[in-house]
Every structure is written in structure tokens, then in C-alpha cells.
Structure 1
Amino acid sequence: MTTRRVLIVTIPPYEGGVPTKARILARHLQRLGHDVTVAHYAVLSREPELCAPCWSWRTPALRAGTVFDGVPSVAVGCRFPELEFPYYHCSALWRKTIAAYDRHIAVGGNILVSNLLHESGVKHMTWAGTPFFEDRQDRQATMPVLRKLVDRVVLSPLLARLEHRLLTAGAPILCVSRYTRRRLQELGGRADRLHHVPVPVDLDLFFPPTTPASAGVIGFAGRINDPRKNIGLLLDALALARRSGTALTLKLTGEPDVTLREKVKEKGLDEVVTFTGFLTPAQLPEFYRSLDVFALPSHQEGFGIVGVEALASGLPIVSTRCGGPEDYVQDGVNGYLVDHDAKAMAESLTQIVADRPHRSALSHEARRMAEERYGLGPFAQTVGDVWESVWGDRP
């Protein structure tokens, strides 16, 4: 095998599912012997010294560093970052960065970040999680009035057109779920260029506890302040279940913003909701093993990586019908799928917690599915096949 210099182009790799995907892919390619670098656009709020906003005469810059505990990285600044779409423009800085590598892969929530590779003219593939608008609509609802107006009238239409151009350009797209593949095809993507490639889970890292957790400990991991995660629904379900006599408690990763903390207080749940603070990837397995049931209350998920991590940890899942999780939550087999309804979620959580033999059966099936479908083997095979279709060799 020839060692390749691989550039993974992605969004800022700080939190959420996209950095998890980028980390998994980078580690996989490193294990195969390749030299891997992660490049991301620098955002004004976190790396202002690299950006050149409209009120500044500063020249955009780049900065080398590391991410994911030692993977080389490059942060690339741009002009006018406050307009957002310049993040996806292939500037001279980006062209110079891209030209130094011989294999290129874009990793994003949506496919927009792949425009950096598309404009540069290099062969590439993209690993994507969700269509642009479905990734956008909940965030748009929370924007200030003027920002929301600009987004609806100018930015979102521009970015939606860019998405369509990329979908029809023909570069292969790895879709994290059947839901994502179907939606991208409906938006204009070519069926023969859309490949189903779920996010794998490390089965040696995420595994069931030797001693089961206490009954009734419900959990969620993710960006709890993101409106798309719909934590309010889970709080409503928790309150309903407790009023009906089921002693549920809830553990949430991260730090709540003022709005979320007030919701917890308003519902009288201060004593039964615990916020763990931000957890590192190394801390997440123990978090899952401390739970009895995992809940996914999201409005929309392209995949829901935390759900597969929960499966591998032997956790039954109660999820809304929100897209990606419908690939791996089998109703009545390893968990339950419910509508966006607090009463339905409360009833499913209560059913699992109250019936311990049933909970054990769901747990067994959860782990079995993770082992059969979401290990590294199937992921490596499909990524290798698409790699070969682009560059003519195996990774």
C-alpha cells in the first residue's frame, strides 16, 4: 500500500457529530498508514485573528495545530466571515492548502463544506449527515429578527442553490443514514453517487456495564442547548412520568444555558435532572454505562451518533421519529419509536423501566445490532469501495 497525504476538510472540529465523524475517519486512515491532516475554516467567534471581517483591513491567515489528541490540523481564515457563505469559498489560502495533499475528503453536517474541494477542481468524496435546510431550520427559528430576515431572504436561498449545485456535480457522497440518502436524492443527488455509510462505533470502548445501572436513570448526550435536540420534549415526558408515579431521573451532558435551566426549574425537576458538564470522548463510555435507558427527543437527526453509542452500551432507546435513528431503533425490539409527543415518550420510558425482563431483552438486542451493523468492518469496506471508485486504488 502506498502512503497517501490525506486532507480531511471539515467545519470547526469542536463539538457535535461532525467532529466525531472527522475523528473516526482520521483515525481509521492513520491506522491504514496514511498521513492525515484535518483542515477547517476558522470562524470569527472563535478565531477572530485569522478572519478579515468587513470592518477590518486584516488579511486572512491560517494556523497549524492539532486536533483529536494529536492529528495535525490547519485552521483557514476568510474575508467577510459574518456573511457565512465565504466560509465555503475556495480562496488562495485554501487552494494552497489543498494542493499540498493527494487525497481529499470533505466531512460535514450538510455537504456545503465540500465546495472548497469542488472549486479547487480536485477529485474528492464527501461524508454528509443531513440536507442543508433540515440542518438549518431550528437554528433559524432562534435567530434575532434582523438576522432571521437576512437568512431567509438572502443566505439560505444562496446556500440552498450551492447545495443543489454540489449534489448534481457528481462527486460521491457518503450518507450516514438511509433517511439522508433518500432526502439528498429527492433534492437532486444522483442515486449512483449516494452511498449509505453509517458512522461506526468502537465496540471495544462502548460496551454494556458488568452491573446494570439503577432502574429509572434516563440519559441524553449531545448539544443540549441546540433547539434541534428538542430537550424540552424530554423534560415534559419526565414530568409526566413522575406525576404518574414512575421515579425517573435524567442525566444530560453539557452545561445548560439560561433558557434550559429555567425550563427545568419551571417544571419542578431541579432535584431529578443532573447536568454532567462537558464530557470528553474518553468520558462518554462511562456516562452511557451509568444509564438505564437512552432518550433521543430530537426534531430531526441525520443519524444520531449518540444513539449508536448507546446501542453498543446495551441501552434501550426511546427516540422520536426524526430521520436517522429510524435506521437502528426497532420498535419493540431494542427500544421504541414515538411521535413528537411527551405522553408517548413518557409511556415508553415507563414501560421499559417498569418491566425489567423486557428491559434486559431490549438491551441484548441493542448490543447485538451494534455488533452486526455498526462496527468498523462494514465502514472500512464501504469507504474503501468509494475511495477506489474515485482514485483507482484501495486505501
Structure 2
Amino acid sequence: MPSRTDRPVFKIGCIANFNDLKDHMTLIKAVELLVKHEPDLSLIVSFVGSGPTLVSCRDYISRHQLNRYFEFVSEMAHESLPSYFNTLNLFVLPSYFEGFGCVYTEAAACGVPFIGCVSQGYSEYIPDDDSDKWLIKPHDYKALALLIDRQIKSPAAQTLKHTYDINILVRYYLSYLAEQLNS
């Protein structure tokens, strides 16, 4: 299996139910902007999910002749996610109302950098000095297009400022609970 870096197609993944809050349209418009400037861009966005805005997203893609840049997968077994993430160069979910979002840490655990929106739970994991590399304002498809383009042309590793290792987090949580019970 080819590694992420020697693949001819740059693959972006997005796993989320299709609804307004997840804002798939921002990613679609970012890709539209990218391919408008570079029509032969070797790029595919893989959407995994279903929901009420799926039809409008598909319609937009079709009306704007972007079909070759997108694929849709309705469901995926959770145990298949590591294999899926390992096919990606980048994970993007421009959700503007997200408590934490496990899919971001699942991507990170597979070594896949992610892009999301500022002021969401997962944004606390991005070092302040790196926020302009990995976070956008809600609905800002132009900034997202620039970040994707940068990652295509000059792939960067992502560092996080907190651990997401469940074993460490559970230990911290149990310690916190013990302190609260003893106070």
C-alpha cells in the first residue's frame, strides 16, 4: 500500500453527519476555489456520513461540475476507521458547533493532520502559534482553500499541545475525581 506522501492524489477526508452545523459546504466551496485556479489538481474529498444536507451538497457539486473531486460513503464500521484514516493526507471538518469531536483525535492518532474551526473543543489542542495553520473562522472557505493548498504544496506535520491518549486521560480524570471527593 502506498504511503500518504507518495500517493498521486491528495485525499481529504471528512466524517460527519450532513447537517448545517457540520458545514460541509465550506469544504465544498474551498475545493471549488482551488480547482478553479488549478483545474488539473489531483485531489479527492471523501465524505463519510448521511443526513439532511447531503442532497443539497450533492446538488451543488453536480451543478458546479465538481463531481470528479468528491466521493460519498454513507456508512463505515467504526473498526474500519483506522484503515480509512490511513488513506488520507488531511482531515477537514469545518463544523462551527462542535463540543470536541472524536474524529479529530482519531485522525491525529493515525498521523493525519486536521483542519477545523476556531473556538471549538478540539481547537484547544492546537498550539496558539499554529492556529493560523490549522483553524479557520466558521464559513471561511477562502481561508480553508489556502490552508489546503499549503498542505498540498508543502505538507506539514501537526503538533498538538495536549495528549489524547485515553489511558492518560482516564488516569487524570480519576485523579481529579479523587481530589474532589477528598475536598
Give the TM-score category using the shorter length: 0.7 to 0.9
Structure 2: runs of 5+ lacking an equivalent: none
- Secondary structure at the aligned position of 2:4 is classed as coil
- Secondary structure at the aligned position of 1:287 is classed as helix
Q: Which residue does the alignment assign to 1:118?
A: none
Q: 1:348 aligned to 2:147?
A: yes
Structure 1 residues 327-336 or 317-326, which shifts more?
Answer: 327-336
Q: Which residue does the alignment assign to 2:42?
A: 247
Matches within 5 A, 1:192-203: none
Identity %: 22
Higher helix share: 2
Q: 1:236 aligned to 2:29?
A: yes
Matches within 5 A, 1:132-151: none
Amino acid aligned to 1:354: K
Amino acid aligned to 1:269: L
Matches within 5 A, 1:1-395: 211-212=3-4, 214=7, 215-223=9-17, 225-245=18-38, 246-255=41-50, 257-330=54-127, 332=130, 335-340=133-138, 341-355=140-154, 359=155, 361-362=156-157, 365-366=158-159, 369=160, 373-388=163-178
Q: Residues 305, 287 of structure 1: CA spacing in aligned structure 2 closer, same or farther, 3 A cutoff?
A: same
Assess if the C-alpha contact under 8 Å between 1:321 and 1:338 holds in 2. Answer: yes
C-alpha deviations, 1:164-217, integer Å up to 9, x for none? xxxxxxxxxxxxxxxxxxxxxxxxxxxxxxxxxxxxxxxxxxxxx982263421
Amino acid aligned to 1:264: I
User: Whose RCO is larger (CA < 8 A, sep 6+)?
Assistant: 2
> 1:380 Cα shift?
1.5
> 1:267 Cα shift?
2.6
Give the Cα–Cα distance (whole angstroms) in 1 for the partners of residues 99 and 79 of structure 2: 24
- Count of residue pairs brought into register by the alignment: 174
Give the Cα–Cα distance (whole angstroms) in 2 for the partners of residues 324 and 286 of structure 1: 25
Q: TM-score, normalised by structure 2?
A: 0.82
Give the Cα–Cα distance (whole angstroms) in 1 for the partners of residues 3 and 44 of structure 2: 19
Assess if the C-alpha contact under 8 Å between 1:220 and 1:252 holds in 2. Answer: yes
Q: Which residue does the alignment assign to 1:156?
A: none
Q: Residues 335, 219 of structure 1: CA spacing in aligned structure 2 closer, same or farther, 3 A cutoff?
A: farther
Amino acid aligned to 1:235: I
The higher radius of gyration belongs to 1
- Secondary structure at the aligned position of 1:228 is classed as helix
- Secondary structure at the aligned position of 1:318 is classed as strand
Amino acid aligned to 1:289: N
> 1:318 Cα shift?
2.0
> 1:230 Cα shift?
0.4
Give the Cα–Cα distance (whole angstroms) in 1 for the partners of residues 132 and 3 of structure 2: 19
Q: Residues 324, 210 of structure 1: CA spacing in aligned structure 2 closer, same or farther, 3 A cutoff?
A: farther
Give the Cα–Cα distance (whole angstroms) in 2 for the partners of residues 376 and 320 of structure 1: 23
Assess if the C-alpha contact under 8 Å between 1:303 and 1:324 holds in 2. Answer: yes
Structure 1: runs of 5+ lacking an equivalent: 1-208
Task: Note the aligned Cα RMSD (angstroms).
Answer: 2.6
